[in-house]
């Protein structure tokens, strides 16, 4: 019962998930890891990581998400996220570096700076020359955000859409004389930070925590009315967009076969490759009946530093009240193209 016969070279995991109405679904996730080759194709990685049943984090304090759970059948679109380091070719020391990533309709640029500080004096606000750097991590800690260093209240809240960043204050543009603060290292080139303008939104490439905006606003309202009429089900104003962990501009409709290009993210310089086109099929036996379903791509994660790419697919079969009737499930590759 509940066995998955995996006839693919990838990792798989079966799981039961309830939808927003409380109905149960049998879900199978497949996770594949590929190494980017110089010819623009990918090869199956020697090590295939297990399907993640829980989120993973950069450090033990769980302050920054590195990957959401791979079991997310109700995610509307594909999350595309990027991890790694910004670096010039051959790791040459620079003070400022443009970087970019493109795939499908996404063409995302950023400017990465060495460490800088803003100082406010009688002559106005001045930003120091950036320090030289060889590599700077693509982490939300290096983007605009964090706690307000000038707000001493015990109940002061950090920036809601990046609580772990740096360089944010509600007093921006009206800091007292003598003030000094570190600025973020990763910025949007179309909206660079200036003291005479409102601060822009945080700019980054990694996944967002569920408690960060805008994900939090999609979680719905958990008030007394919900407790009295709906709990433990999700509230009526819950949106499935809560399941999207990528920044809004990195939520895409990907199927495989799209070209990915990255600049400023590897010592070798610009590199590009094509996502493999993989068609997966599951056959699930419920009692004496076989149900065939196709998988949908829900996540693509590029590790630019190591030139590796993770792809995750989900498929789901409604089985409310019949979970014990599921005898087994088999997963096969119907088609695979673009893999060396």
Cα separation of 289 and 316, whole Å? 16
* Extents of the domains making up the chain: 3-84+256-337, 93-137+139-187
The vertex-28 CA angle with 25 and 34, nearest 5°, equals 150
Measured distance CA(137)–CA(185) in Å, rounded = 9
Query: pLDDT over 90 for what percent of the chain?
Result: 93
Give the angle subtended at the CA of 115 by the CAs of 111 and 116, to the nearest 5°: 90
| Residue 302 pLDDT exceeds 80 | yes
| 111 in Cβ contact with 143 (< 8 Å) | no
Per DSSP bridges, beta strands 180-182 and 65-67 are unpaired
pLDDT of residue 75 exceeding 60: yes
From the number of C-beta atoms within 10 Å of its C-beta (0-12, 13-18, 19+), residue 87 rates as buried
The pLDDT tens digits for 147-204 are: 999 998 989 999 999 999 999 999 999 999 999 999 999 999 999 999 999 999 999 9
Average pLDDT over residues 270-276: 97
Condensed to tens digits (0 to 9), the pLDDT of residues 87-123 reads 999 999 999 999 999 999 999 999 999 999 999 999 9
Strands (E), 94-185: 96-103, 106-113, 117-121, 124-127, 136-137, 144-145, 166-167, 180-182
What's the token pair of residue 16? 């039961």
CB-based burial, 257-267: b 16+ in 10 Å, e otherwise: ebebebbbbbe
For residues 261-283, give the mean pLDDT.
97
Residues 6+ apart with CB under 8 A from 261: 100, 101, 102, 103, 270, 271, 272
Average pLDDT across the chain, whole number: 96
Q: How far apart are CA 47 and CA 30, in angstroms?
A: 14
Token code pair at residue 232? 């433990």
Percent of the chain with pLDDT over 70: 100
DSSP state of 3: E
Spatial separation of the C-alpha atoms in residues 212 and 195, rounded to whole Å = 25
pLDDT band at 132 (very low <50, low <70, confident <90, very high): very high
**Residue 1: predicted pLDDT:** 57
pLDDT at residue 60, rounded to an integer: 87
**246-to-9, 242, 328 alpha-carbon distances in Å:** 27, 10, 33
């Amino acid at each position: 019962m509940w066995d998955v016969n995996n006839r693919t070279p990838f990792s798989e995991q079966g799981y039961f998930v309830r939808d927003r109405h409380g109905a149960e679904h049998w879900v199978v996730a497949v996770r594949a890891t590929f190494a980017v080759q110089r010819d623009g194709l990918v090869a199956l990685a020697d090590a295939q990581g297990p399907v993640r049943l829980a989120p993973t984090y950069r450090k033990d304090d769980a302050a920054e998400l590195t990957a959401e759970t791979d079991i997310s059948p109700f995610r509307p679109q594909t999350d595309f996220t990027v991890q790694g380091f910004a670096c010039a070719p051959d790791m040459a020391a620079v003070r400022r570096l443009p970087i970019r990533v493109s795939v499908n309709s996404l063409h995302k640029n950023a400017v990465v700076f060495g460490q800088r500080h803003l100082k406010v004096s009688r002559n106005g606000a001045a930003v120091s020359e950036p320090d030289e750097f060889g590599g700077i991590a693509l982490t939300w800690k290096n983007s605009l955000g964090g706690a307000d260093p000038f707000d001493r209240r015990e109940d002061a809240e950090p920036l809601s859409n990046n609580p772990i960043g740096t360089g944010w204050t509600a007093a921006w543009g009206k800091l007292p004389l003598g003030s000094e603060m570190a600025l973020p290292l990763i910025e949007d080139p179309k909206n660079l930070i200036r003291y005479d303008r409102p601060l822009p939104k945080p700019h980054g490439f990694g996944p967002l925590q569920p408690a960060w905006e805008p994900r939090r606003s999609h979680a719905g309202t958990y008030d007394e009315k919900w407790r009295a009429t709906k709990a433990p089900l999700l509230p009526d104003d819950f949106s499935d967009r809560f399941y999207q962990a990528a920044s809004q501009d990195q939520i895409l409709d990907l199927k495989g076969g799209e070209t990915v290009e990255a600049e400023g993210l590897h010592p070798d310089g610009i590199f590009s490759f094509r996502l493999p086109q993989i068609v997966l099929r599951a056959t699930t036996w419920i009692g004496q009946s076989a149900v065939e379903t196709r998988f949908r791509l829900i996540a693509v994660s590029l590790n630019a530093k190591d030139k590796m790419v993770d792809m995750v697919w989900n498929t789901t079969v409604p089985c409310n009240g019949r979970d014990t009737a599921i005898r087994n499930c088999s997963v096969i590759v119907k088609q695979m193209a673009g893999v060396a």
